[in-house]
Each structure stands twice: as structure tokens, then as C-alpha cells.
Chain A
Amino acid sequence: MARSSLALLALGGILYAFLYAPLLVVVAYSFNASRLNAQWVGFTLDWYRSLFDDAELLAAAANSLLVATGCSLLATVLGTLAALALWRRRRPLLSALALGPIAVPEVLLGVSLLLAFVLLEVTLGLLSITLAHAVFAIGFVMVAVQARLTAVDPALVEAARDLGASPWQAFRRVVLPLILPGVLAGALMAFTLSLDDFVVSFFTAGAEASTLPLKLYAMLKTGVTPKVNAVSTLLLLLTISLIILAHRLTPEILRHDRGDTR
């Protein structure tokens, strides 16, 4: 077995390199003193400094944080409610509606929301982006909370009720503390998903509003400057820290990631 294990290990190393090397290249170039993404010239922090002079970019970043916060709040409340409603019960319609947006191609979600917003005369802008992001984030929150709920013994709730707790007290004092790590992990995931989303934002943003990924896309289309490397590095750092945090709160989310739920 030793030789085949060694081969598997080597192949694994190559595959992890395949996953990470491209991202490391972006990070490395963000410190490169050259204007081109080619030769290494020398170390600089100029590109990071130039970010703070770019008013449009800063505004886009602020928009992204605003939308991500709104989406996270909305999706966390609705996703937690959905998980509670599905606790030890089958509700096929609710499951399908919560997981459906994760399962369909993003472009379908984007164009159908654009169509609905325009027909229902919802002004396209930060609000429409936030509402749209929550549609696919709810499913992720729901799954993260469900991962915790399966371990909660319903007898605990019954005991609390028998001792005179109202349904709200039973939830607030018994269930919520037990599922809180899942709720927080779900909130972080919803925040990250919203912060990263490009496709759905692209269709629901309208002409005026811009988020960081939309700005990034415009930069990639019209001409790449080393600023892109610096923005990308900061964004990578932020989202990766958020997800590691979510993973520490509820390791089960990995198992029930997109992979398992579709």
C-alpha cells in the first residue's frame, strides 16, 4: 500500500497547489512595484495606499458592507425560522423553496429577479440587491442551524413548557442558547456570500448602485491596474477569516455545504 499512498500524497500536494497557487500569485503581485503582472521588481505598499484615494472604490466597498449586513440580518432571521419550522417536521414546500435558489444556476436567479423587480416596480439599487442576496442566503443559514438543531432533545422544550415557560421563553432560554453557534455561523456565511456575490448583484443592481465585486468586474473588463491585486488581497483576507470563524463555530457546516444540500 505504501507506494500507492505516496503517489496519492504527491498528487494531493499538486492538487492543493492547483487550488492555492493562483490566489497566492494575486497576493504576491499586490506587493510588486511594477505596473505589470509580470516580473517581480520590488516590494511596495503603494497599491494599498492608492486604494484609499479611490473614492469610487471606497463607496463600492461601503455599499458592499451595507448590503452584506442587511442580507445577513434578513437571512439569519428567516433562515433560523425556517430551520425551526422544519425541526422534526417535513415541509417539502419550505425545503424546496429554501434550497432551490442554491440549486438553480445563478444566472436564472439573477434574470428572474430582475424581471420581477422591474415588473413590480421595485427601484433597482442597494435595497433590491440586499433582498435578492437574502434569497440564496436563507438556505445556507437554514442548513447551518439545522446542523445544531438535530442535536437538541425536544424533551428539553417539553420540560421547560411543563415548568410553565411560554413558547417564547422556552425558545429564548432553552433552544436558542443551544443553536446559537449555528445561527452565528449562518449569519457569517450569509454575510460572506453577499459580500462575494457577483452574478445576482449584476442583474439586480440597476445602473447606479455598485458593490465591490461589480466594481472589480468593471476593472477586469476595462483594464487591470495593480490596484485590483490589492483589493483582491484584502477581500480574500476578509472572507477567508469569516469562513474560518464560521467553521470554528459549527464544524458541521462543511458537511452540509452546497455539496450535501442540493
Chain B
Amino acid sequence: MERLSRWLALPPLAYLCALFGLPLLLMVLASFQWPGEFGGLEPALDRSEDGYRLNLTLESYHRLGEDGLYLGLLLKSFLYALVTALLCLLLGYPLAQLIARSPSRWRGWLLLLVVLPFWSNFLIRIYAWMILLSPEGLLLGVLNALLAWFGLGPVQLLYTPAAVILCMVYVHLPFMVLPLYVNLERQDPALLEAARDLGASRWQCFWRVTWPLSLPGVYAGTALVFIPAFGMFAIPDLVGGTEGIMIGNVIRTQFLEARDWPFGSALAIVMTLVILVLAWLAAWLARGKADYG
């Protein structure tokens, strides 16, 4: 059976090595290559009379480090993703708790209702907010009427960073609710009863029992929202205007418009490294808490 199992692993392993592992390696290599004259890449190996010579450079990374624009964009993307994750936590926590505390026969359906929008088309969900936030839209009409009543000028939301954050929260909320729900549902209600019996107030029950126990779920949810939000390019592209662009937009431009693949690759790799370090940190924090709990 062991031999059979190894054969079974072979096709998916080969496919994923070829179309996930290899492309990533090629991109790492590309980030050290020179850009081709008309897009693409200069060969990594130069052929001259006296044999082959490596033709690699750190130019793209130098440029990234020296140009404040790109470091600024990385920082900005980091902040947008962080704010998105925190807002998702703020909204997702009560939702997860509501589902975890509801009668068990409802839980599956309530959870499905949270997850369903995730499975509906991503562009449609952004488009829905484009309607709501447009100047002639319903939501903004009400908001501006309210503001006018207080003597404040009309505001614009579409094509601003605020619209980017709002859409990112909307799109990623299910990622926060799922791990939180899994954690909260597993918590033993007897712990809360014991705390109440020992005279803890409702707030104390939450801050000293439920919240610390839920930290692994909090870290997992935060990472799940943060990672895709950090590399987001479609949302800023559609609702962010010029002010709301993120690092994902620049990576896209480098590949499709500027045709500077080495620089685009370097940006994508630095972005991924930042994410890996943060994900590792979240996992490390979650593990520490799990041991403690």
C-alpha cells in the first residue's frame, strides 16, 4: 500500500511543482535578471567566446530600496491591510459569537450565510459598492443629506482610500468569521458559568475568559484577512482612484504596462517576504497562546 500511495502522490505533485513551484522559482531568478529591451528578460547566462558567464544583477532590489515611492507604497499597503484586518475583527467577532451561541441546528445555515458571499463573484461584490458609493447612489445621498443638515459639505467616497478599505472589509469578512467561529464554538460554556459563579461581571467574563481563549482564532483570522488584503490590486484599481493605489497595482503595472519584469518580480518577492514574516509571527503567537490555554 505504501508504494501505491507514493504513486498516487506523483501526478498532483508533478502538476503543482510545474505550475506553482517552478513559476515561483522562475520569478525569484527573474528578479535578479536584466530587463529585456522590448519587455521580457535578458538571458541569465551570457554566451561569449570563452564560455558561459552569469548575467545577474541586484539592480531591481537597489532601485526598490533607493526609491522611497515603492517603500512608501509597501508601508501604505501594510497599513491598509492592517486596518482592514482590525475592522474585520471588530465586525467578525460578534458575528462569530452570535453563530457559536445560536441553537446547533441553525449554526450550519448561519455560517453558510456568512460564507456564501465569499463564493459569489468578487467583482460583483465590488461593483455593488460602486453603486452604493456613487454620488447619485442611495447610500451617499442619505449620508450627504445628513451632513448638509449639520451644515457640512457633501463628501465623496468612491475613488478614495476609504472606499478601498470598505470594500476590502466587505470582501474579507468571511475569512475572519470562520476561524473565530471554529474557536468560539469549541470553548466550554462551563468555564463562563464558573467565572460567573465566582462573581465575575459580564465584561470580566469576556476579557478574562472568552477573549484570551479565542486568541488563536483571532491571530488566524487576522492573518487570513491580512494576507490577501496586502496584495490586493483589483479593489484599489476599481474604487481607489489615484490616491488609493497599493503595491499590487504597481506589480501589475510593471508586468503588463511598464514591461519591467525583473522589477515587478522583485516587488512581488519583497511583498511575499513581508507577508511570510508576518504570517510566521501570527502562527508563533497563536501557538504560544494555545500552549498557555
A255-B182 in contact (CB<8A) = yes
B20-A257 in contact (CB<8A) = no
A78-B119 in contact (CB<8A) = no
Closest A residue to B126 by beta carbon equals A220
Interface residues on B, range: 35 or more
Instruction: Indicate which residue in A112, A257, A258 contacts B26 across the interface (CB closer than 8 Å).
Output: A112
A22-B122 in contact (CB<8A) = no
- B79 / chain A contacts, CB cutoff of 8 Å: none
Closest A residue to B114 by beta carbon equals A19
Produce 1/0 per residue, B1-33, CB < 8 A to A: 100111011011101110111111011001000
- A167 / chain B contacts, CB cutoff of 8 Å: 1, 4
In the complex, what's the smallest C-beta–C-beta distance from B60 to chain A, in angstroms? 14
Interface residues on A, range: 35 or more
B272-A94 in contact (CB<8A) = no
Q: Does B277 interact with chain A (Cβ within 8 Å)?
A: no
In the complex, what's the smallest C-beta–C-beta distance from A208 to chain B, in angstroms? 15
Q: Does A156 interact with chain B (Cβ within 8 Å)?
A: no
* Complex Cα gap A85–B5 (Å): 5
Produce 1/0 per residue, B43-60, CB < 8 A to A: 000000000000000000
A108-B271 in contact (CB<8A) = yes
Binds A, one of B64-72, B227-235, B285-293: B227-235
Q: Within A111-167, which residues are at the interface with B (CB < 8 Å)?
A: 111-116, 118-119, 131-132, 134-135, 138, 142, 157, 167
A94-B12 in contact (CB<8A) = yes
* Complex Cα gap A114–B30 (Å): 12
- B12 / chain A contacts, CB cutoff of 8 Å: 78-79, 81-82, 85, 94, 97-98, 138, 142
Q: Does B137 interact with chain A (Cβ within 8 Å)?
A: yes
A199-B224 in contact (CB<8A) = no
- A20 / chain B contacts, CB cutoff of 8 Å: 113, 117
Produce 1/0 per residue, A21-51, CB < 8 A to B: 0110110010000001110000000000000
In the complex, what's the smallest C-beta–C-beta distance from A61 to chain B, in angstroms? 13
- B21 / chain A contacts, CB cutoff of 8 Å: 97
- A134 / chain B contacts, CB cutoff of 8 Å: 15, 19
In the complex, what's the smallest C-beta–C-beta distance from B272 to chain A, in angstroms? 6
B9-A94 in contact (CB<8A) = yes
Q: Within B70-123, which residues are at the interface with A (CB < 8 Å)?
A: 91, 94-95, 97-98, 101, 108, 111-123
Instruction: Indicate which residue in A82, A202, A239 contacts B121 across the interface (CB closer than 8 Å).
Output: A239
Residue picked from A91, A97, A192, most chain B C-beta under 10 Å: A97
Q: Within B200-248, which residues are at the interface with A (CB < 8 Å)?
A: 202, 220-221, 223-224, 227-228, 230-234, 238, 248
Q: Which residues from chain B sit less than 8 Å from chain A, CB to CB? A: 1, 4-6, 8-9, 11-13, 15-17, 19-24, 26-27, 30, 40-41, 91, 94-95, 97-98, 101, 108, 111-132, 134, 136-138, 170, 173-175, 177-179, 182, 202, 220-221, 223-224, 227-228, 230-234, 238, 248, 251-252, 255-256, 261, 264-265, 268, 271-272, 275, 279
Q: Which residues from chain A sit less than 8 Å from chain B, CB to CB? A: 1, 4-5, 8-9, 11-12, 15-16, 18-20, 22-23, 25-26, 29, 36-38, 77-79, 81-82, 84-87, 89, 91, 93-94, 97-98, 100-101, 103-109, 111-116, 118-119, 131-132, 134-135, 138, 142, 157, 167, 192, 195-196, 198-199, 202-203, 213, 216-217, 220-221, 224, 228, 232, 235-236, 239-240, 242-244, 247, 251, 254-255, 257-260, 262
